[in-house]
Structure 1
């Protein structure tokens, strides 16, 4: 999923990172909108929405992905392959925020800005799992019919996670069209929060992840990661800027795509 480029223009990269159980497909409206808007404005952007491991159309299955780093591998590979001197605007949604944080920790010199769209955003004090566990323990949202299965008996495979149909309709996609809800129910795959692996990781460092410029984008009608919890993460890990999108549920890229496109382009132009 890449935009056409003016061969004489300096390339800018926007990488859109999906959340758990989803894939690059969840960005289809925003990816198309970014390409059209950038072309109309004369910007040379390459827009990429990779499928993380065992997600979207990636042919691996969850039991083949043992760690969060392996899961995030396609994003890390995308940054690793950038030509010298080029940087990317990373936009992480939901669990994708932790993938963006890992990428910023590993390749801080390749990240122009890390944007967290209603996403989990870790700090540099606690293990990356903390933002997930604090959210889960705080009774922020009822899990309804979501399913989580424990690790295998030997502890080698990650616990699995899957959104239930009721949760999708009532808590995740409540402002989305019936067509997008139908699409989601047909395309989501069993995923993992990789809690065990993330608990064992050291906190991300101030010198690397902490040095990357950050923007948090609050989705005000999100009932999966409510606004109050989004702002709690910001309070614990201050960012360069907080932006808001009104009328957006957790799946803002589907419920409010035009606003998300404008927000990302504004961020990409500001943080060069």
Structure 2
């Protein structure tokens, strides 16, 4: 087995999802001999905690990834892959552990810069594409001890079918409808944070995988984020919807193996 195959790949899901959504990619990469871990962030996937009762801030939400990164041995490097809202957790890990990351791969993911507060990218998305959130179900959740209610959301079946999973199989859409959990965008928390640092986050090589038929993070918005940042390379999967790991897993794996070959040295 080559040293490239031995390098660990860590997969980070988007909001409301979990490690489960990477099942096709995990299987394909492991069948080729790669070491792959898909992590459940807090209150996601099989993690028993709930948003916002048990997990109400971004640090709590991202802690499983930070713990996993902390366990990486000195002198070792990983390939970090994030999807959608997972781009923010990716950025936090890059800021905390830049020397442990060979390359960070953003798959149709939010891509923070090193100038603005992290929430700037979210605000721009809401401003540029306000209609994308018209049909997302939102509700207020009151948590004892907290003065203000939390606004949580969950895309209902129609939104998942037309905006997230439109190129996926009916089976994977059904899986999404069963598994997707309530989500919190932690806007207030992220708004009060300084920008991710140029010296740490900015020092890690970034590769962007654009999903050509993404109906939520549109191609235009993905390219706007790229222009707003410094990236090493841009790749594209033309017929991938937002859930590229489900709609185009083979093509995504081809991109990832190419990235590993080029950057994991």
| Shorter-chain TM band | over 0.9
Alpha-carbon distance, 1:151 to partner: 6.3
Alpha-carbon distance, 1:152 to partner: 3.9
Q: Whole-Å Cα distance in 2 between the matches of residues 71 and 112 of structure 1?
A: 24
Q: Whole-Å Cα distance in 2 between the matches of residues 265 and 222 of structure 1?
A: 22
Alpha-carbon distance, 1:267 to partner: 0.8
SS in 2 for 1:72: helix
SS in 2 for 1:90: strand
1:19 aligns with 2:14: yes
1:173 aligns with 2:165: yes
Q: Whole-Å Cα distance in 2 between the matches of residues 172 and 248 of structure 1?
A: 10
1:257 aligns with 2:253: no
In structure 2, what is the equivalent of residue 120 of structure 1? 110
Correspondent of 1:58 among 47, 50, 73: 47
Alpha-carbon distance, 1:199 to partner: 0.6
Correspondent of 1:228 among 220, 224, 231: 220
Alpha-carbon distance, 1:147 to partner: 1.8
Q: Whole-Å Cα distance in 2 between the matches of residues 147 and 200 of structure 1?
A: 26
Residues paired across the two proteins, number: 261
Which range moved further: 144-153 or 189-198? 144-153
Give the root-mean-square deviation of aligned CA atoms. Answer: 1.9
In structure 2, what is the equivalent of residue 269 of structure 1? 261
Correspondent of 1:200 among 192, 209, 212: 192
Correspondent of 2:123 among 127, 133, 138: 133
TM-score, normalised on structure 1?
Answer: 0.91
Deviation string 1:104-140 (CA, Å, 9 cap, x unpaired) is 0011111111110000000001111111111012126
Correspondent of 1:49 among 38, 43, 49: 38
Alpha-carbon distance, 1:149 to partner: 3.0
Correspondent of 1:239 among 225, 231, 234: 231
Aligned residues of 1:140 and 1:225 also touching (Cα < 8 A): no
Q: Whole-Å Cα distance in 2 between the matches of residues 148 and 35 of structure 1?
A: 38
Aligned residues of 1:145 and 1:165 also touching (Cα < 8 A): no
Q: Whole-Å Cα distance in 1 between the matches of residues 168 and 85 of structure 2?
A: 19
SS in 1 for 2:133: coil
The alpha-carbon distance between structure 1 residues 92 and 157, as it changes in their structure 2 partners (threshold 3 A), is farther
1:74 aligns with 2:64: yes
TM-score, normalised on structure 2?
Answer: 0.93
In structure 1, what is the equivalent of residue 73 of structure 2? 83
SS in 1 for 2:113: coil
Which range moved further: 158-167 or 210-219? 158-167
Give the 5 Å matches for 1:96-111. Answer: 96-111=86-101
SS in 1 for 2:81: strand
